[in-house]
Amino acid sequence: MSNPWPASSSATPIAAAAPIAAAAAAPIANAMTIDVEDYFQVSALAPYIARSEWEQRECRVERNVQRILQLLAARGVKATFFTLGWIGERYPGLVRDIVGGGHELASHGYGHQRASDLDTAAFREDVLRAKGVLEDAGGVAVKGYRAPSFSIGHGNLWALETLARTGHRYSSSIYPIAHDHYGMPDAPRFAHRTGSGLLEVPVTTLHLLGRNLPSSGGGWFRLLPYGITRAMIRRVNAAEGQSAIFYFHPWEIDPGQPRIAGIDARTRFRHYVNLAANEGKLQRLLADFRWGRMDDIFLDPAAPAAHPALAGAR
């Protein structure tokens, strides 16, 4: 498989890829992103919920996404919804509501299978199936992709070339942290081009004391006091001049979701911690920063240039 990183890079090209400087003229636009999956599709719950049971589970994604759309509309925020093809196939009206609200429709794959668990043919089939379903439902081109559980890393960088060849323009699939389920801590922290021409836009980390700290949402946002996340994003914006990429899931604003019996203590804590408080924290986050869609911030030449170094490659 060909090297997915530019030929001009060093012998360890992924660590040497240069970050893309952001403009300092206006308050930096950060990307608000939502990974549209239901509570029973979470990777950490996969050992406890068989895929064959998905159709029998209570689906709550519609009501949760509708609530998110209300929260975003109240603040005039446009966001990117990385949506499972499985969801789009069953709830095409929800996909239309996302697009109708002025938000970007992007892909989270079809059935929430980790990219690292698929071979090249199966991965290609998965991303093409998801792209087709979402485009048919939403009536718009799908340009972005985020791998379930940030499952692109050292072992499957070939997936970036596959994404480029299947018509995707950017990915947000590599998380430059060390984690027990995912992560590539030596990856570039900010938006960068790969050798295939695909733009990779990692979710945000803060480099502190020699390591990258997660600063972009998910379970850490629910666990930590809100002020810590706010301070981290402010530092990335002000000290590094970069847009932050924040993410969360619809089930993370749903404290009434069914509890899964028999799960281990770590998984139970990670999945259910502070669900009741999360919507309030998200409302504060939406008010405290300027937010936008991934494609507007990183791809659209008509939008305010957050990353002018990309202009020639758009």
Domains of the chain, CATH where assigned: 29-44+57-313 (3.20.20.370)
Residue 130: count other Cβ atoms within 10 Å of its Cβ. Answer: 26
Query: Which tokens belong to 265?
Result: 């203590």
**If pLDDT is split at 50, 70 and 90, which confidence band does 19 have?**
very low
The mean per-residue pLDDT over the stretch 279-297 comes to 98
Q: What is the pLDDT of residue 260?
A: 94
Spatial contact of 21 and 234, defined as CB atoms under 8 Å apart: no
pTM (two decimals): 0.89
pLDDT at residue 90 greater than cutoff 50: yes
CA distance 98 to 83: 10
pLDDT over threshold 90, residue 307: no
Q: What's the pLDDT at 15?
A: 31
Sole residue written with tokens 């939502």: 34
State the average pLDDT over residues 106-118: 97
CB atoms within 10 A of CB 2: 10
Residue 3 has pLDDT above 70, yes or no: no
How do strand 80-83 and strand 290-292 relate by DSSP bridges?
unpaired
Q: How far apart are CA 234 and CA 195, in angstroms?
A: 31
- Average pLDDT over every residue of 71-82: 98
- In tens, the pLDDT along 212-243 reads 988 999 999 999 999 999 999 999 999 999 99
Supply the pLDDT for residue 8.
Answer: 37
Whether the per-residue pLDDT at 194 is higher than 80: the answer is yes
Cβ-contact 254, 275 below 8 angstroms: yes
3-state secondary structure the chain: CCCCCCCCCCCCHHHHCCCCCCCCCCCCEEEEEEEECCHHHCHHHCCCCCHHHHHHCCCCHHHHHHHHHHHHHHHCCCCEEEECHHHHHHCHHHHHHHHHCCCEEEECCCCCCCHHHCCHHHHHHHHHHHHHHHHHHHCCCCCEECCHHHCCCHHHCHHHHHHHHCCCCEECCCCCCCCCCCCCCCCCCCCEECCCCCEECCCCEEEECCEEEECCEHHHHHHCCHHHHHHHHHHHHHHHCCCCEEEECHHHHCCCCCCCCCCCHHHHHHHHCCHHHHHHHHHHHHHHCEEECHHHHHCCCCCCCCCHHHHHHC
pLDDT confidence band for 18 (50 / 70 / 90): very low
Residue 267: the pLDDT is 93
For residue range 139-150, list pLDDT tens digits in order: 999 999 999 999
Q: Which residues sit opposite 248 in a β-bridge? A: 34
pLDDT of residue 308: 40
Q: Measuring CA to CA, which residue among 43, 217, 41, 33 is closest to residue 107?
A: 33
pLDDT of residue 204: 95
The crossing angle, in degrees rounded to 10, of helices 226-240 and 275-288 is 30
- 311 to 21, 91, 203, 268: CA distances (angstroms): 12, 36, 21, 45
Mean pLDDT is lowest, of 44-48, 51-55, 208-212, for 208-212
Confidence label for 98 from pLDDT (cuts 50, 70 and 90): very high
Average predicted confidence (pLDDT) for the chain = 89
